[in-house]
Amino acid sequence: MTRRVYVFDTTLRDGEQTPGVSLSIEDKFEIAKALDGLGVDIIEAGFPAASEGEFNAVKKIANSGLKAKVAALARLNKKDMDVTLSTGIKRIHVFIATSDIHLQYKLKKTRDEVLQIIRENISYLKDKGVEIEYSAEDATRTEKDFLLKAFRVAAESGASTLDIADTVGVASPSLMKELVSMIKRDMPDIRVSVHVHNDLGLATANTLAAIEAGADQFHGTINGIGERAGNVSIEEVAVALKVLYGIETGINLQKIYETSKLVEKLTGVRIAKNKPIVGENAFGHESGIHTHGILNNPRTYEPISPEMVGRKRWFMAGKLSGSHGIAAQLKEMGISVNEDQLAEIVKRVKALGDAGKHVTDADLYAIAMSVTGSSPQKYLSLKGIVSVTGMNISPTTSIRVSFKEKDLESSSTGIGPVDASLRAIQKALEGVLKVNLIEYSIDAITGGSDSLAQVSVKVEDEEGHIASSTATGPDIVMTSVEAMIDGINKLLLKRV
């Protein structure tokens, strides 16, 4: 029988502890619904005793009929626990530290006092009709005999899940295995969980090691957000469990990317380009050798198919590209070329790359148009625009575009006139095409207030196609609009 591991999602609690992240109740609710759709087993919705907003968010999520069990965090004291229980959660996650350093410098308690706190408070929770999960905070720096004692007391008092917290991310895979085995040997029927931080970049390895040793559940966050270097990334563990171990979670892997993007958008924590599974480059290829291999058989240079996690592979032209990759890119853009034209395009792309230029889709498209002598095909064009900005009113843009010969209009506000204008374009297209702006940058090319701006954008559609474009001009709003429209035209070419 296939082994099943439970996923305890703490994006809304430990993830929200990421410095600079603060989610509104609405944002939390939107993420909770996405996590539920993704298939996590438990959603830790927050820390109700921390603030009124946290309390209200947990209450709303706990009572919204999600399939996942909704949990919340509480310290082991009656005040915290009563507030938490009154939200209507089905599972309470309680914690107290067990390491000597925390006992001495933070809690100022003896080991016996900590055991007494665990016994008294978990016994109090026992008849409240909720599942009880106990985390030993800083478990991985706790003396092992004492850790086992603390877990035994928690289990005897009513906890059904025992969680080993690697609070400062200092465990090694072998230590994780040792701790999980120690608890499983002593209490074979209890659910053992791990909560791992990524301070030394070992979070995924440590979580997998714990699961190899028999852990039944892991805590993690989407995109690995969390305190300091973050928590383990759910997406990394879920995919690794599936492809390396044949272990199932309830996660619908195809929804990983859209969930990751939503969390990125609402938390404002940008995903690194090279982040496994969800980073922009995770399925991007430039080198000719790799591209050639991929085109013959994607498994040559891809560990998993991008579709498995709701993504699409993409190729980028550059000095390392070969003719196979560039031909595939041109095909994706709907451009057909003969052999001589292809050789000339490859030559020009390499020359740009050698000159240190980042060759965007827009560059490749322009080169192909010039080599083939064709005129660029445009599905989307700007018909009219008014953008106002000032003081005490939100910058607003009204726009008219022509999409496949049909006029579409919209207006939007934004944090500035550029933001308002790009949002207005996205809004105008809403009924026909969902476009996300995933990257925007602006550089001044010359000196003074009349300097030329160079705007680069990267846009993505709901099928995961990505296109980039660059425009240069004296007016940053119009140049941004031009780059965005051009980028969307490139996207549309990839959809044909």
Which C-beta is closer to Zn ion: that of 14 or that of 27?
A: 14
DSSP 248: B
Count of residues in contact with Zn ion, rule CB under 5 A: 1
Round to whole Å and give the CA distance between 448 and 467: 31
Rounded (10°) CA dihedral 7, 8, 12, 17 = -110
| x/- letters, 377..416, toward Zn ion (CB under 5 A) | ----------------------------------------
- The owner of tokens 């993409």 is 314
Q: Which among 492, 478, 482, 429 is positioned nearest to 457, based on CA atoms?
A: 482
Stated length of the chain: 496
Q: What are phi and psi of 294, to 5 degrees?
A: -60, -40
Residue 137 lies near Zn ion (rule: CB under 5 A): no
* Burial class of residue 176 (count of CB atoms within 10 Å of its CB; 0-12, 13-18, 19+): buried
Count of residues in contact with ligand KIV, rule CB under 6 A: 9
From the list Zn ion, ligand KIV, none, partner contacted by residue 153 (C-beta under 5 to 8 A by kind)? none
The tokens for 135 are 């985390």
Q: Which of 87, 99, 135, 207 binds ligand KIV (CB under 6 A)?
A: 135
Instruction: For the CB of residue 167, give the shortest distance to ligand KIV in the complex, in Å.
Output: 4
From the list ligand KIV, Zn ion, none, partner contacted by residue 247 (C-beta under 5 to 8 A by kind)? none
Distances (CA, A) of 294 to 283, 335, 350: 11, 20, 20
Which C-beta is closer to Zn ion: that of 14 or that of 286?
A: 14
The tokens for 278 are 């969800």
Round to whole Å and give the CA distance between 326 and 346: 7
Instruction: For the CB of residue 13, give the shortest distance to Zn ion in the complex, in Å.
Output: 8
Residue 403 lies near ligand KIV (rule: CB under 6 A): no
Round to whole Å and give the CA distance between 314 and 360: 12
Which C-beta is closer to ligand KIV: that of 57 or that of 492?
A: 57
Which C-beta is closer to Zn ion: that of 11 or that of 87?
A: 11
Which C-beta is closer to ligand KIV: that of 148 or that of 282?
A: 148
From the list Zn ion, ligand KIV, none, partner contacted by residue 135 (C-beta under 5 to 8 A by kind)? ligand KIV
Stretch that binds Zn ion, among 8-16, 58-66, 269-277, 452-460 (CB under 5 A): 8-16
Which C-beta is closer to ligand KIV: that of 164 or that of 380?
A: 164
Round to whole Å and give the CA distance between 9 and 224: 11
CA geometry: angle 324, 360, 344, nearest 5 deg = 45
Query: How would you classify residue 360: left for phi > 0, otherwise alpha for psi between -120 and 50, otherwise beta?
Result: beta
DSSP 303: S
Which C-beta is closer to ligand KIV: that of 135 or that of 233?
A: 135
Distances (CA, A) of 12 to 26, 27, 213: 12, 10, 28
Site for ligand KIV in 28-87 (CB under 6 A): 73
Q: Which among 260, 265, 267, 322 is positioned nearest to 296, based on CA atoms?
A: 322
Residue 167 lies near ligand KIV (rule: CB under 6 A): yes
Q: Which of 132, 165, 192, 209 binds ligand KIV (CB under 6 A)?
A: 165
Site for ligand KIV in 183-222 (CB under 6 A): 195, 197
CB 365 within 8 A of CB 334: no
Order of strands across the sheet with 435-444? Answer: 435-444, 453-461, 466-473
Instruction: For the CB of residue 197, give the shortest distance to Zn ion in the complex, in Å.
Output: 6
Helix, strand or coil, per DSSP, at residue 495: helix
Site for Zn ion in 9-38 (CB under 5 A): 14
Which C-beta is closer to ligand KIV: that of 220 or that of 288?
A: 220
Distances (CA, A) of 490 to 71, 376, 378, 420: 45, 10, 9, 22
Instruction: For the CB of residue 52, give the shortest distance to ligand KIV in the complex, in Å.
Output: 21
Distances (CA, A) of 466 to 22, 316, 457: 29, 11, 10
Instruction: For the CB of residue 341, give the shortest distance to ligand KIV in the complex, in Å.
Output: 58
Instruction: For the CB of residue 75, give the shortest distance to ligand KIV in the complex, in Å.
Output: 9
Q: Minimal CB distance to Zn ion: which residue?
A: 14
> Residue 221, Cβ neighbours under 10 Å: how many?
28
Q: Which of 6, 8, 95, 314 binds ligand KIV (CB under 6 A)?
A: 95
Which C-beta is closer to Zn ion: that of 136 or that of 424?
A: 136
Round to whole Å and give the CA distance between 144 and 182: 9
From the list ligand KIV, Zn ion, none, partner contacted by residue 315 (C-beta under 5 to 8 A by kind)? none
Instruction: For the CB of residue 239, give the shortest distance to Zn ion in the complex, in Å.
Output: 22
Residue 137 lies near ligand KIV (rule: CB under 6 A): yes
Which C-beta is closer to Zn ion: that of 140 or that of 329?
A: 140
From the list ligand KIV, Zn ion, none, partner contacted by residue 16 (C-beta under 5 to 8 A by kind)? none
Instruction: For the CB of residue 481, give the shortest distance to Zn ion in the complex, in Å.
Output: 43
- The owner of tokens 């310290």 is 75
> Residue 12, Cβ neighbours under 10 Å: how many?
29
Site for Zn ion in 165-204 (CB under 5 A): none
From the list ligand KIV, Zn ion, none, partner contacted by residue 95 (C-beta under 5 to 8 A by kind)? ligand KIV
Query: Which residues form the interface with Zn ion (CB under 5 A)?
Result: 14
Query: Which residues form the interface with ligand KIV (CB under 6 A)?
Result: 14, 73, 95, 135, 137, 165, 167, 195, 197
